[in-house]
Structure 1
Amino acid sequence: MTRTRRLAVLLAAISLLLVELQPAALGASRTDHVRYADDSCPGKAVVRPNYGHCAPWRLRLRSGRVLRLTDARLLQGSRIPVPIALSPHGSQVAYIRLSDDALVIRDVTTGAVRAVPGVKWSPVRFAALSLSPGGRFVLLRHHAGQQQVVDTGTGQVRTFPFTVANLSFSPDNRYVIARRLHDDTGREPDTVMVYATGTWTEVRRSLTLRLGALRMDGALLAYLDPAGARPAIRFQDVATGAPAGSALTIPAGETGRRLVWDRAGHLDLLTEVAAKTHGNVLTLRWRRANAGMRILDTFTTTRRAVVPPGSMLSG
């Protein structure tokens, strides 16, 4: 082998090594997402779901790796970390950075961290966080009950003029569905609204739409129906509120918890497996609902954990 040839082979090997090492150095990998996040409390604390969490948060990845969020902020004068949020498929995590109190979005597939412009920690403002697909929007829930949606790229804030019970974005973030709680007088019933996020205009208001997961185009809604002998996933036409398509029966012995669409039109279902759930320790399972309920992942955690799309499974 000539000297030039040896040099070319060496450079190619170095390039390949850098490509292979870069994702691990910066984060997880392009395909490794967060199963759930838990805290660092001693074992005896995990049986108390309402007990304050212990820093640092730990991100449990599907590969088995664990990423510790040592740069996440703590509550003043304590070892309790402030709330975090996971995106629906677990590729992004939102939290308050300890060094500068900025709200940041970490891409766990690359390790890249970006600050949300103009948003800083406030003990009044951050009662809870929720994160949309890809980390595009973050929902801030205030202790006073107010809810705001923040565009994480621009820092633009949208404040809802009513109490939002639930919020769910389409996979491309073009649409969001929200359920407004009735007013204190009870004269206005719960109402479901759909907004186009480009202009934040209301495109649909309904008393018959169920709250669920919006498909890419915002035209189809999937929701969990626990009624009847066999709980199922059902579908609604967003424009008319009429039933659409055929129901998908949830496997026996499992309770539907969450539904998530992706950009390719896959509908994933998170279930709780009854036979393997005991007290605060539970077994969860992700299934590809519109592909014969194929099992994607099964894992065991506690009700204290934060599970995509990003909240504690307290009930």
Structure 2
Amino acid sequence: MRRTLLGAAVVATAAVGLPTLAHADSAATARVAWVGACEIEDEISRACGSWRLRLSSGKVIKVPDAAATSVDARGRGTDETARFSVSDDGRWIVYERGSDHRLAVRRAAGGRVTLLPKSLTRRGTDILWVRLSPTGDRVLLEYHDDEEKEPGKIVTVATGKIVKLPPADDLEGLSGDGDEALALRYNDDNTTALVAHGTDGSAISQVPPQVVANATVRALAADGRTVAVFTGAKPKLRLYDLVSDRLGAAVDVRLGKGAEIYHAQWSGQDRLTVKTQSGGDGKPTVVRVLTVDTDTGAVRNVAAYTFTARHDTWLTAGE
């Protein structure tokens, strides 16, 4: 999720009398999600109101049963924004249900709700990090607790199956097909390992070159072993093989002035979908969605969104 001091809101056509999900087109996909902000102190705000989705059709709809803020382990309300994620294909969302803060998954445009196991939120949701797989069939969870005792989890939505991951691993996201989770592991010998955890309980681990460990953004391909790595202020793309420990040559990626890559996801065998942002610090934030050819670094613009300081939190499909 992305936040500014007073939050961020997508600038778009004003919507009056927003429809609920029950009235939305069931074939529509979500492109952007956001929640409003209420000022609680001078220049300090918290999330409030309904989460909203902008669909591919341009229509804006509410997610009426989604909580705006999280709860702690005792069930007390906090100022932390509630968990929310949209699948990369835009068809699915996961969110905290307002009535009890259980994690719920459903189609972005409405339909039957699938509740994930209650045990996932037994320690509250304010410490929880959530990410959907590209097609919404799995949910990745990490608990940002000081004790590092709660294992991360990969949850299969259809069955409720839970694969537990080492608590100390820093989870980064799911692979291009959702079958593996990429993580960083800080070893006792001061080295950093990169790990791909499979949904079958397997794991591939490697201590990569420093340029990979220190990269700003990484993304795991559907093969479970190829990691796309973005490095530098003027970003370069490199591919790293977790099995062979082989690092490919650097490829230039040309972005607009001041744009920084903050998220990447494999969306094809030789293609990445990348998010950049620029602006902020009191100025509107501009988010661009683009594709990057992994062989040539060629960039193609897909969409652009402008956000201002009227809402608390925003995210795009795939976050």
The TM-score with structure 2 as length reference comes to 0.73
> How far apart, in 1, do the equivalents of 2:139 and 2:314 lie?
18
What is aligned with 2:166? Answer: 161
Cα-to-partner distance string for 1:69-122 (whole Å, 9 max, x where unaligned)? 221235467696632223334332211223454321121145442122444644
SS for the counterpart of 2:135 is helix
What is aligned with 2:12? Answer: none
Are the aligned partners of 2:30 and 2:317 in contact in 1 as well (CA < 8 Å)? no
C-alpha displacement of 1:222: 0.9
Are the aligned partners of 1:59 and 1:66 in contact in 2 as well (CA < 8 Å)? yes
> How far apart, in 2, do the equivalents of 1:28 and 1:248 lie?
40
Q: Unaligned 5+ residue runs, structure 1?
A: 1-23
Aligned partner letter, 1:260: Q
What is aligned with 1:282? Answer: 285
Matched, 1:69 2:63: yes
Aligned partner letter, 1:114: T
What is aligned with 2:85? Answer: 85
Q: 2:239 aligns with which of 232, 235, 238?
A: 235
> How far apart, in 1, do the equivalents of 2:176 and 2:48 lie?
32
**Aligned runs of 1:147-226 on 2, under 5 Å?**
147-149=151-153, 150-182=155-187, 187-197=189-199, 199-208=200-209, 209-210=212-213, 212-226=218-232
Give the 3 Å change call, closer, same or farther, for CA 226–246 of structure 1 in structure 2: closer
SS for the counterpart of 1:54 is strand
Cα-to-partner distance string for 1:7-46 (whole Å, 9 max, x where unaligned)? xxxxxxxxxxxxxxxxx856445353232x222225x68x
Identity of aligned residues (%): 22
> How far apart, in 2, do the equivalents of 1:41 and 1:182 lie?
40
Larger-Rg structure: 1
C-alpha displacement of 1:62: 4.0
Which contiguous aligned blocks of 4+ residues in structure 1 show a shift greater than 6 angstroms? none
Q: Superposition RMSD on alpha carbons, in Å?
A: 3.3
SS for the counterpart of 2:45 is coil
Are the aligned partners of 1:116 and 1:154 in contact in 2 as well (CA < 8 Å)? no
Q: Which has the higher helix share?
A: 1
Aligned partner letter, 2:260: T
Q: Which has the higher strand share?
A: 2
Matched, 1:32 2:43: no
> How far apart, in 2, do the equivalents of 1:121 and 1:301 lie?
31
Give the 3 Å change call, closer, same or farther, for CA 250–122 of structure 1 in structure 2: farther
Q: Unaligned 5+ residue runs, structure 2?
A: 1-20
Matched, 1:250 2:246: no
Give the 3 Å change call, closer, same or farther, for CA 238–143 of structure 1 in structure 2: closer
Aligned partner letter, 1:32: T
Cα-to-partner distance string for 1:211-249 (whole Å, 9 max, x where unaligned)? 61112212321121125xx32222222322322265141
Give the 3 Å change call, closer, same or farther, for CA 113–155 of structure 1 in structure 2: same
Larger relative contact order (CA 8 Å, sep ≥ 6): 2
**Aligned runs of 1:261-276 on 2, under 5 Å?**
261-263=266-268, 265-274=270-279
Equivalent pairs, count: 277
Aligned partner letter, 1:160: L
Are the aligned partners of 2:226 and 2:239 in contact in 1 as well (CA < 8 Å)? yes
Give the 3 Å change call, closer, same or farther, for CA 302–127 of structure 1 in structure 2: farther
Give the 3 Å change call, closer, same or farther, for CA 85–141 of structure 1 in structure 2: farther
